Amino acid sequence: MEQPSKTVFTRKRYDRLAFFYDFLEAPLERYRFAHWRSRLTDRIVGDRALEVGVGTGKNLPYYPRNVKITAIDFSRRMLEQARKRASVLGSMVQLQKMDVQQLAFPDNSFDTVFGTFVFCSVPDPVAGLKELKRVCKSNGRLLLLEHMRPGNVLLGLLFDVVNPMVVRMMGANINRRTMDNIKKAGWQILKEEQLSGDIVRWVEAKPL
């Protein structure tokens, strides 16, 4: 498990950003993310689903109505924004403060586990992805929308150089090898789609 100090640092970054977060992302949200979000939530299967790193609740408008969804985040202030959004939408989502690296749910609790733009900032992404595998049913699904380190050698190196500054400002890493992390945590990739070059990817996986 990653040092607790990194977890505290990242949580504080999101607490600090929460109030402005939707404003900062508004252009990208409008022209890119909104469409990608609905494509992901369309793939939710089963009766019970878990969203991790729910943030300000940007996926809430796209949740299927017939699925019981629990959503967690470790930032109290991001969750406050998500609660406001849930109330405006009349959403039945159960929001809880929790760290994806140490989930409080029993094994095999959910049919689908999902997240968008989360594993760039989880301090120990493999630990988080292992926890998702633990709480996911053996015939369940993992759905992720994530940005990651580009495969191009020069661009990858550039992302490595710029990464410490982005982490300091936003709490997110831009050079994570998330496909490798998903596999290391014991998931089998079923589908992978590149959405913005190879930087943003849509991934569907099942427990190995």
Ligand X SMILES: C[S@@+](CC[C@H](N)C(=O)[O-])C[C@H]1O[C@@H](n2cnc3c(N)ncnc32)[C@H](O)[C@@H]1O
Interaction between residue 105 and ligand X (CB under 6 A): no
Q: Burial, 112: exposed, middle or buried (Cβ in 10 Å; 0-12, 13-18, 19+)?
A: buried
Establish how many alpha carbons lie within 13 A of residue 6's alpha carbon, considering only the half-sphere containing its beta carbon.
Answer: 12
Which is nearer to ligand X, 54 or 167 (by Cβ)?
54
Q: Does 95 bind ligand X (CB under 6 A)?
A: no
DSSP annotation of 92: -
CA 59 – CA 86 distance, rounded (Å) = 10
Please identify, among the stretches 39-47, 84-92, 96-104, 155-163, the one whose residues bind ligand X according to the rule CB under 6 A: 96-104
One residue of 60, 69, 95, 100 binding ligand X per CB under 6 A: 100
- What is the C-alpha to C-alpha distance for residues 64 and 85, in angstroms, rounded to an integer? 16
Q: Torsions phi, psi of 184, nearest 5?
A: -60, -30
Nearest residue to the partner ligand X, using Cβ:
55
Q: To which residue do tokens 């300000």 refer? A: 56
- 46 vs 61, which CB is nearer to ligand X? 61
- Asked if 108 and 82 touch (Cβ cutoff 8 Å), the reply is no
User: In this chain, which of 49, 95, 118, 174 binds ligand X, going by CB under 6 A?
Assistant: 118
3-state secondary structure of 197: coil
Cα 97 to Cα 22, 67, 102, 193, distances in angstroms: 20, 20, 11, 31
Q: Which two tokens stand for residue 53?
A: 């790193």
Q: Does 203 bind ligand X (CB under 6 A)?
A: no
Out of 41, 70, 75, 181, the only residue in the binding site for ligand X (CB under 6 A) is 75
Per rule CB under 6 A, is residue 63 in the interface with ligand X? no
Q: Per rule CB under 6 A, is residue 74 in the interface with ligand X?
A: yes
Contacting residue, 41, 112, 121, 178, with ligand X by CB under 6 A: 121
Does 81 bind ligand X (CB under 6 A)? Our answer is: no
**What letter does residue 101 receive in the DSSP assignment?**
G
Least separation in angstroms between CB 17 and ligand X: 8
Residue 53 touching ligand X (CB under 6 A): yes
Taking CB under 6 A as the criterion, the residue among 101, 112, 175, 178 binding ligand X is: 101
Return residues touching ligand X (CB under 6 A).
10, 14, 52-55, 58, 72-75, 78, 99-101, 116-118, 121-122, 128, 172
